[in-house]
Structure 1
Amino acid sequence: MSVETLVPAATRPHGICHDQATASRLQPSRGGPSDRSTVAADWTRLCRGFLRCHRRPINVALHLFTTPLGLFGVYALVAGLSPIAVAPIAVALVATIQIAVVVALVPAGIAGIHAVAVSMIAASAVLITPPLGWAVAAVVAGYIGQDLAHWFAREPTFQSTYRDSNRWWKRFVEHTLLLLPVLIAVAGRWRQSPLRLLVARKAVLKTKLTGRQHESDFATILQWVREKQPNVSQSTHWWHTDLSEGAAESFRRLGDSQTLMKRIRSFHGSGYDVQPVGGMNELYVTGPPKTTSSDSVFYMGHVDGPWAIFPGARLYRCMLSLNQNLEVTTHFPMSHPDYGEPESHRLQHGDAVAFDFNRELHYITRQVDARQTVPRVNLKLHFVAYPRGMRWYGNLLGRLTTWYDIRARNLFVQTINPNGTLLAIKARWVLGWTRLFELAVRFCGWTNLAYVATAMLLSVAFGNATILIAATSFVHYAIYVGTLQERTPVSFGTFRRDAMFFKTLAMAQLLGLYAWHFDHHYGSLALVVAGFALAGYAARVLGMRRTLFSAELGFDAPQRVDRFPYGTIGHPMILGAMIGIGGMALAEGFRIDYGWLIAAHIACYALVLVHELKMRNRRACALPL
């Protein structure tokens, strides 16, 4: 859904949208033709103005937190300032007035979503009823948080576009009243959708340097390496500052390569800037694998850095091969559906592959080839990509990663060839932590763990477990919808990890709460068991890969499955899950305390089903007749 499809075609500029039938269904329906035209024009103007100031998904995502927070504070104030007996009535009355006004001013689809959102926010304010001080704090935090979101995203505030106008107060009232509806409309555009932040796009970027200057620089550095005669029984590392003047200048030019930066920039799009991070650059000569040396780290699955929690920014390590390579292959196991069948690159002369230093799991393998007469020589070059206008953010990530890399490399070099007890202990320490990090990245993800830890801290701080439950129960649905919508290649292993991590957490919480509130209603238990058994058996028949949309994402060929329950029951996985979750509602204690959780899960499953059908129909319409 886009802003353009929410206004009448007659009010849109040429080239935006031509679906007049859709637009006529979504335009406000009250009043005569002239009134409808005026209201639609005002809505169009508001949406366009708002969109100009909210083009980045991170800004929209932050607004989807700060705006409901501010509204929650307003309704909490209404509840707190009203007599206890009539507080729910007062809140309901204010919410009804707000919903009614919005219904008269915005398209029906947006008005319906807005009505649901406001009802949920108002109900939460009544159920929680925080102290007045907390309610005021929520209003202030919601308002200030929006300015902070614009500062973080480096976009102007919408209020700044009309602050100096003669009737600014009228625009301010309109802005305040319709902020949530227009935010819903903008969030429905895929380019601005916060769901894009959850998509695990494949960020393993390969290119090749072939220019005459590149070849000259390769030759200069290789000559310097030959003169050094490195020990081929272990890997050898030099910082860029260790090279002689001529080799260092060649290294600097390659580290500033526009070809490499252009490749990274093309992945992120025009809204991003890319700059070199030279403090980490090094020259690397491959050594053979060992079992009790830090050299064996390269042959284990590992992530180079710890700073995965930098939303919207990436620091890339670019491996650039300077000479022939017949033995060493670099593997990226999270890019493909099967961990044991990774995306692999054997970099030859001039080949380069860039990957996220802090997020991408990788390792190398070595197959001895007699034709490899000289050691494999690589450059490790580094670049940071960050949203345009946020250079401070990219510089911060660059400085932190450089600080870590220097210290990690020093420890690594010490333990390449441990010749004492202390160094041997350090080497085993490095290998042990590498293995632990591999498991954490493969099955959990540091960003996911940090998100859950933050939700837990907020729950403890406010003494309310509902915060943790609400924050972690629905993330996997958003990942499903966002990934299916994405058009660019997806890192399937990362997508599977994120989806299964949050789904496992959500189902564990749901079943745990159900068991805690179970009041011996065996009819409820029978539905729960039957529903989840159907869903589980359907997933087994389909297979894990296809269950997670491997065909839809292009990793597997489409295949018709007729084995029961497919061919007999429509959409058995989703239907079974909805039956199982719906059966929990028969347990009275659980329904009273967590009816909202049951309803939300069922609604999310329905949304995923509708979106999946929509995407399938779109693909079917695109096929040649």
Structure 2
Amino acid sequence: AIISIALVVRAGALRYPLPENMPSKSKSVEKYLALEAKFRKFHTYSLNIGLHVVTTPLGLLGFVRLLNVIAPLYVSVALTIVYLASLYHQLPKVTMIRTSICSSMILALSFVVDWGWIGSSVAMAASFVLQELAHIITGELTYQSQYIGESDAVSQLVEHTYYLLPLVMDAMDNMHYSLLGFVVAHNRVLFTKMKQPEQVKDLKTLNDWVMANNPSTEHTTHWWYDKLKSAPKDAFTRIANCENLLGMFKESFGEKAYEVEVVDAMNEIYVASPKYGLNSDGVFYMDHVDGPWGIFPFCSVYRCMVAVNFNQQIKTSFPLTPAAYTLSEGDAVAFDFNREVHVISDNKNKNEGFRICLKIHYVTYPKILRPWGKLLKRLTVNYNLNARALFLATIEPNSLTARASALTVLGTTWLTEKVQTNMGLNNLFYVLILFLASTVSPIPYLFTIGTSYLHYIIYLATFYSRREIAFGLFKRDVIFYKSIALTHILYYYLKNFEFDVISLALLGVGYFIAIAATKALGIDKTYFGSELGHCKPEYVSSFPYNCIPHPMIVGACIGLLGFHKLNGLREEVPYLIPVHIALYLTHMCQEIFDFHRSRAHRILPAWIASN
């Protein structure tokens, strides 16, 4: 509730901002802003700030509750008023409003919770321990570590404690991703260029070595890293460990929290053949995912393609991002080995010779989850070695068995890609685990609750974030979970069905409006294509936008009320539809206030950048 109210307040502040040249209220504001700037440097990751948003009010609640135990209640009320009054001339407007709301709710909760002095003390201690743990998990130093050894450490600690709540409220606007960033489909296809003289020299060394070893013109040729000797192996090693490649992972994931390691056992020199047919080479010209371990949370194995020589023919595309690269000498693109759907295709321009690439692999994982990352690395290496053996056995399928194996490779590749493109292996895994848990859990309707509202959370978080979004993945996820949610509603509706004219009329009118709105916008713009920079914005004046405000949400809510009108459904699951409508209206408010991160962090839309 604290976060929700604070975000709504921020929306209003962004919609009706103060003039930029308005003078500060006092020098104390400037003093606070200087402290704020220092605090932000130690609180950039959304996980760290998210835990602080919980633990800071928890500690304050413990303190206020303890005060209520040992003193009359008016003492805590007076102390809260004095605290907020002392901050009034020191904080920026939005931070002051957030702090006031949060402090008031903490005070109100202190009258409700039934904690004695032990429980209150435990809450304060837990707050401190969990905040320290948040910094350990994310790898960010504590702000306290900056001043702990200084002569005025005590006074700085008092200042830090006094301003802690407003500092945390401010940090919500300045983190790397939003608090709900973990549900956002971020674009994890990374690109860089190898331009340093030593890198150019190493690429030439590898190019000359490949050409001296006469690669095949009939199919792809592969030299594995562990089989290379002297000069080519040294050149490969330097490129794999260069700052250009390692740096793009550190920038994307965060050097403080994540570890990046080269996976030498999967690395190779890859030479493209101009021919492919009924053999395993055909998988490269199909939409495909390289590995099966996309269900692993928090960790990833990346394949990085580094172009060794000039190329104008072969293009590598990522349809769910979407993005496409014709990698030429020195270009490098990295993508998730176990999750990213990709395909190669031919441009109109043709190469005069071979296309030579390095396939370099990296594992990324949170430093605190090192064993988990090592497990993913081992599983992916083992899979790759087995797949490599099958690939080599079917690259020239001369026998019936070899041809059958090649068909198996192609068929499995096709099926895996369809599942990943349309549903997502991680989504399927989550749904399966939740379903199994619901069969043994005492919580009624666990599966329904756990799969009915996720698409709204993704809507809210993605609409807010608007940064580095993989549009295809976002659209896949929301359609998948929205389909499950509607399936739940239809199940309860048909299970309890009885003829109800009003119910059927509301369903018909509501979904007619929603479908008409979808047709008017098109499927991509329906799912924030314009807002996320995927489509060029256009003014829509056709029905129903010419007569109904926000017709897609309004129509959906009318349709949901049609479901809720059925007595049997309303009696069995009384809160199912009201929660749907509440979340829809929450998102409608987000649209009305145009509340998103890029109001403060301007981003060049993809449709502009591409031109």
Which residue does the alignment assign to 1:212? 197
1:395 and 1:544 mapped to 2: Cα distance? 40
Does the 8 A contact of 1:60 with 1:193 survive in 2? no
User: Larger deviation: 55-64 or 567-576?
Assistant: 55-64
Aligned residue among 332, 338, 352 for 1:358: 338
Aligned pairs (5 A) from 1:2-17:
none
The CA deviation at 1:615 is 2.4
User: Residue 323 of structure 1 corresponds to which residue in structure 2?
Assistant: 309
Corresponding position of 2:325: 345
Change (3 A) 1:157 1:513: farther
Q: CA deviation at 1:353?
A: 1.0
Matching of residue 277 in structure 1 with residue 277 in structure 2: no
CA contact (8 A) 2:306 2:331 kept: yes
Stretches of structure 2 lacking an aligned partner (at least 5 in a row): 10-17, 26-35, 57-76, 85-95, 107-128, 144-164, 604-611
Aligned with 2:209 (options 224, 233, 244): 224
Q: Which amino acid aligns with 1:570?
A: P
1:153-186 per-position Cα deviation (integer Å, ceiling 9, x unaligned): 568999xxxxxxxxxxxxxxxxxxxx9x999998
Shift of residue 268, structure 1, vs aligned partner: 2.6
Question: TM-score under structure 1 normalisation?
Answer: 0.72
Residues in 2 aligned to 1:232 and 1:589: alpha-carbon distance in whole angstroms: 69
1:574 aligns with 2:553: yes
Distance 1:598 1:52, change over 3 A: farther
**Which of 288, 297, 306 is equivalent to 2:292?**
306
Aligned residues of 2:464 and 2:596 also touching (Cα < 8 A): no
Q: Give me the whole-angstrom Cα distance separating, in 2, the residues matched to 1:505 and 1:398.
A: 33
Task: Give the CA deviation at 1:390.
Answer: 4.4
Task: Report how far residue 570 of structure 1 moved.
Answer: 0.5
Equivalent position amino acid for 2:287 in 1: G
2:180 match: secondary structure:
helix
Match of 2:582 among 578, 581, 603: 603
Aligned counterpart, 1:263 = 248
* Whole-angstrom distance in 2 between the partners of 1:433 and 1:116: 55
| CA distance in structure 1 between the aligned counterparts of 2:413 and 2:400, rounded to whole angstroms | 20
Q: 1:34-183 alignment to 2 at 5 Å?
A: 56-58=45-47
Decide which of 213, 216, 221 is 1:236's aligned counterpart: 221
1:543–1:65 Cα change, 3 Å: farther
Are 2:461 and 1:491 equivalent residues in the alignment? Answer: no
2:345 aligned with 1:375? no
1-side partners of 2:55 and 2:487: how far apart? 29
The one-letter code matched in structure 1 to 2:204 is A
Report the Cα distance in structure 2 between the residues aligned to 1:453 and 1:145, rounded to whole angstroms. Answer: 31
Q: Deviations over 1:197-235 (max 9, x none)?
A: 111122222221122212221222222212221221001
Equivalents in 1 of 2:254, 2:399: separation in Å?
A: 50
Shift of residue 367, structure 1, vs aligned partner = 5.0
User: Distance between the aligned counterparts of 2:105 and 2:552, measured in 1?
Assistant: 27
| CA gap 1:461/1:617 in 2 versus in 1, 3 angstroms | closer
Deviations 1:386-421 (A, max 9, x none): 335544443333232222212211211111111222
Corresponding position of 2:379: 400
Q: Which piece of structure 1 moves more, 187-196 or 579-588?
A: 187-196
In the alignment, which residue of structure 2 is the partner of 1:472? 451
CA 479–263 in structure 1, closer or farther in 2 if over 3 Å, else same: same
Structure 2 contact 466–531 (Cα < 8 Å) conserved? no
Tell me the TM-score normalized by structure 2: 0.73
Q: Which moved more, 1:406-415 or 1:613-622?
A: 613-622
Equivalent-residue separation in structure 1 for 2:407 and 2:394 (angstroms): 9
Q: 1:545: how far off?
A: 1.0
Deviations 1:361-408 (CA, angstroms, capped at 9, x unpaired): 111113576x63321111001123333554444333323222221221
Relative distance call for 1:484 and 1:239 in structure 2 (3 A) is same
SS in 2 for 1:615: coil
Structure-2 change in CA distance of 1:558 and 1:266 (3 Å): same
| CA deviation profile, 1:563-618 (whole Å, cap 9, x unmatched) | 11102111000011111112322222211221211111011001111112222698
List alignment gaps of at least 5 residues for structure 1: 9-16, 25-46, 68-99, 118-143, 159-178, 337-342
- Higher RCO by CA contacts (8 Å cutoff, separation 6 or greater): 2
**Which residue of the other structure, out of 533, 550, 557, is the alignment partner of 1:554?**
533
Contact 2:289 2:338 in 1 (8 A): yes
Cα pair 1:314 1:356 within 8 Å, conserved: yes
Percent identity, aligned pairs only, is 36
Pick aligned residue for 2:427 from 440, 448, 451:
448
AA matched with 2:262? P
Correspondence for 2:14: none
Report if the CA contact (8 A) 2:306-2:333 is conserved. yes
Query: Which residue type is aligned with residue 352 of structure 1?
Result: A
Cα distance in 1 between the residues matched to 2:433 and 2:280:
33
Name the aligned partner's letter for residue 357 of structure 2: N
Q: 1:189 to 1:266 in 2, by over 3 A?
A: closer
Q: Do 1:220 and 1:247's aligned partners in 2 also have CA atoms closer than 8 Å? A: yes
Q: Distance in 2 between matches of 1:514 and 1:110?
A: 44
With over 3 angstroms needed to count, the CA separation of the structure-2 counterparts of 1:494 and 1:619, relative to structure 1, is: closer
Is 1:564 aligned with 2:543?
A: yes
Q: Secondary structure at the match of 2:402?
A: helix
Q: How does 1:608-619 map to 2 (within 5 A)?
A: 608-615=587-594
